[in-house]
């Protein structure tokens, strides 16, 4: 998924000579806090509602306002992950997009981006979620996939997050089944640390009850 496939069809750009109060009105209509400023097809920068409010001159053109952001944008062929990074870095509600000739092409909204990320992570598909915690050097995608697929289960999505305070990584895995008790048992048999489980509670409760019953039987021997 690249920027060209995410362009909004409704969010307008504002001209540098437009009145700041008009920009605020558009922001309110579209529930965003930023709008790109253009002159023709030239992208000049991005203005926020805070930029306008701080100046306290809503009847002046947007070009007279000091912009708090230094012309953030992505190119039309950049990947969705790079767009997310820019949003996170500058706390944007819209992302200006430039074409291959550095001309203004449009914007991507955070809401549209969130919808695409939901599809990318298979959030709309039913299935259990596991979070594994392990040392970076112990991370093997092939082994994780083998354990999961060995239990007749498929990976719908997987992402890795490094722990800033250690050399550990957290592996979040979305699976195509709600009954993931067999997968859990296999990971534990291979000494994987399962940090969190999100699945059908009845199935997990049943698995834990079976373990407890086995433990009591062991105590009775």
Instruction: Find, among 68, 17, 16, the residue nearest to 37 by Cα.
Output: 16
pLDDT at residue number 211 = 54
Could you report the per-residue pLDDT of 124-155, keeping only the tens digit for each?
778 888 999 999 999 999 999 999 999 999 99
129-220 maps to CATH 3.30.160.270: no
Residue 28 structure tokens:
């309110």
- Report whether 95 contacts 83 (CB < 8 A): yes
- Cβ neighbors of 65 (< 8 A, separation 6 or more) are 20, 47, 51, 52, 55, 57
Which residues share a beta bridge with 33?
A: none
pLDDT band at residue 221, thresholds of 50, 70 and 90?
Answer: very low
- Report whether 178 contacts 206 (CB < 8 A): no
Percent of the chain with pLDDT over 90: 61
Whether the pLDDT of residue 19 is over 90: the answer is: yes
Domain boundaries, the chain: 3-118, 129-220
Whether the pLDDT of residue 32 is over 80: the answer is: yes
- Cβ neighbors of 2 (< 8 A, separation 6 or more) are 76, 77, 78, 79, 80
**Helices (H), ranges, the chain:** 20-30, 49-55, 80-90, 110-120, 141-149, 181-189, 201-220
Which of the listed CATH numbers 3.20.20.70, 3.40.220.10, 3.40.50.1820, 3.10.580.10 matches domain 3-118?
A: 3.10.580.10
- Cβ neighbors of 220 (< 8 A, separation 6 or more) are none
Residue 142 structure tokens:
């092939």
Could you report the per-residue pLDDT of 45-101, keeping only the tens digit for each?
999 999 999 888 888 999 988 899 989 999 999 999 899 999 989 999 999 999 999
pLDDT band at residue 117, thresholds of 50, 70 and 90?
Answer: confident
- How many Cα atoms occupy the beta-carbon half-sphere of 22 within 13 Å? 13
Whether the pLDDT of residue 123 is over 80: the answer is: no
Q: Please state, as a whole number, how many other Cβ atoms lie within 10 Å of the Cβ of residue 88.
A: 9
- Cβ neighbors of 98 (< 8 A, separation 6 or more) are 43, 73, 74, 75, 76, 104, 105
């Amino acid at each position: 998924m690249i920027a060209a496939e995410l362009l909004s069809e409704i969010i307008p750009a504002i001209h540098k000579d437009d009145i700041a109060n008009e920009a605020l009105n558009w922001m309110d209509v579209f529930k965003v806090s930023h709008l790109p400023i253009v002159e023709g097809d030239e992208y000049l920068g991005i203005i926020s509602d805070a930029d306008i409010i701080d100046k306290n001159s809503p009847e002046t053109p947007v070009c007279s306002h000091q912009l708090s952001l230094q012309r953030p944008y992505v190119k039309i062929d950049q990947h969705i992950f790079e767009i997310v990074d820019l949003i996170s870095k500058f706390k944007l509600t819209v992302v200006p997009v430039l074409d291959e000739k550095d001309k203004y092409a449009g914007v991507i909204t955070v809401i549209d981006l969130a919808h695409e990320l939901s599809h990318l992570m298979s959030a709309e598909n039913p299935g259990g979620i596991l979070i594994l915690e392990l040392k970076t050097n112990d991370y093997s995608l092939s082994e994780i996939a083998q354990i999961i697929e060995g239990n007749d289960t498929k990976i719908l999505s997987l992402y890795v997050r490094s722990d800033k305070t250690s050399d550990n990584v957290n592996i979040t895995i979305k699976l195509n089944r709600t009954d993931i008790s067999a997968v859990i048992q296999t990971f534990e048999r291979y000494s994987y640390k399962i940090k969190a489980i999100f699945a059908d509670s009845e199935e997990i409760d049943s698995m834990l009850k079976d373990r407890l019953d086995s433990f009591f039987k062991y105590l009775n021997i």
